[in-house]
Structure 1
C-alpha cells in the first residue's frame, strides 16, 4: 500500500481534490484507486477537442499530470509537504473522438524527495 497513513484515500478526500482547478474545468473525475494505483477519467467533448474533432494532446497531458499529482500528494504527509510535477513526456498512439478517456497512474519509484509515475491513458 503506497498511500499515506496506510489506507486507501476516502471518497470524501478524493472528492475534495477533484472539485477544484483545471481538472474541474475539463470535467476530470477520480474513478477509483487500488493499493498502488489511482484512476481518473476525462470527457472527450468540446472542452477537450482540438479544432479537428479529436482529443487534444494537451488535454491528455493535463489528465496525466493531474492523476499523477493527485496520487503523489496522497502518498505524502499533506500537513508537511506538497508534490508538484517537475517533468512529463507523452506519446500519443491513437486518437479519441468522443466518450471518456481513463488515466491510470502507477508509481515506478517513490523516493524521499522525488516520485516517478507511469500513466496509461485508454478509452
Structure 2
C-alpha cells in the first residue's frame, strides 16, 4: 500500500518536472529571436537562455532516471510481495503436513498400545495352556 502511495506521488513529481522541462524548452529560442533587436544585451540573454536549455536537458535526464529507479523499486517490491505470499502458502502447507503426520503418529501409538494389550492376552492364554 505504501509503495502505491509513493508511486502516485512520484508520478505527480515526474509530471511536474516534465511540464517544467517542456516550458523551459521554449526559453532559448526567445532571446535568439530578439538578439538583433537588443544587441549586446540580447547576446547575454541568449547565453543565459542556452544555459537554461542545458539545465532543462540535465533535469529531464535526471527526472527520467529517477522515474526508472522508482519503477524498478516498485517492480522489485511487487515481486517481493508475490514471493512472500508464495512462501506463506508453502509454510501453511508444511504446517498442515506436520499436523497430518502428528495425527498419524498418534494413531500408530494407539494401534501399538492395542497390539501390546493383545500380545499380553495371548501370552496369558498360552501360559494357561502349559500348566
TM-score over 0.5 for the pair: no
Instruction: Name the TM-score, length of structure 2 as normaliser.
Output: 0.28
Rg bigger for which structure?
2
Q: Which has the higher helix share?
A: 2
